[in-house]
Amino acid sequence: MGNLRNTSQRRVILEELVKLKTHPTANELYEIVRKRIPKISLGTVYRNLELLAESGLIQKLDTAGTQKRFDGMVGDHYHVRCVKCGRVDDLDFPFLNSLNKSASLAGNYKIISHRLEFEGICPECRSQELDGKSYVDHERITG
Query: Residue 56 in contact with residue 74, Cβ under 8 Å?
Result: yes
Between CA 79 and CA 63 the distance in angstroms is 9
Q: Hey, which residues between 46 and 85 contact DNA (CB under 7 A)?
A: 46-48, 50-51, 67-68
Residue 18: count of CB within 10 angstroms of its CB:
13
Length of the chain: 143
DSSP 80: E
Between CA 92 and CA 122 the distance in angstroms is 15
Per-residue binding letters, 34-73, with a second copy (x by CB under 8 A): ----------------------------xxxxx-x-----
Task: Tell how far CA 35 is from the center of its chain.
Answer: 21
- Which of Zn ion, DNA, Mn ion, none does residue 61 bind (CB under 5 to 8 Å by kind)? none
Nearer to Zn ion, 45 or 122 (CB): 122
Of 33-41, 100-108, 117-125, 134-142, the segment contacting DNA by CB under 7 A is 33-41
- Which of Zn ion, Mn ion, DNA, none does residue 40 bind (CB under 5 to 8 Å by kind)? DNA
Query: Residue 54 in contact with residue 120, Cβ under 8 Å?
Result: no
Contact status: 47 vs Zn ion (CB under 5 A) = no
Chain residues binding DNA by CB under 7 A are 3-10, 25-27, 37, 39-44, 46-48, 50-51, 67-68
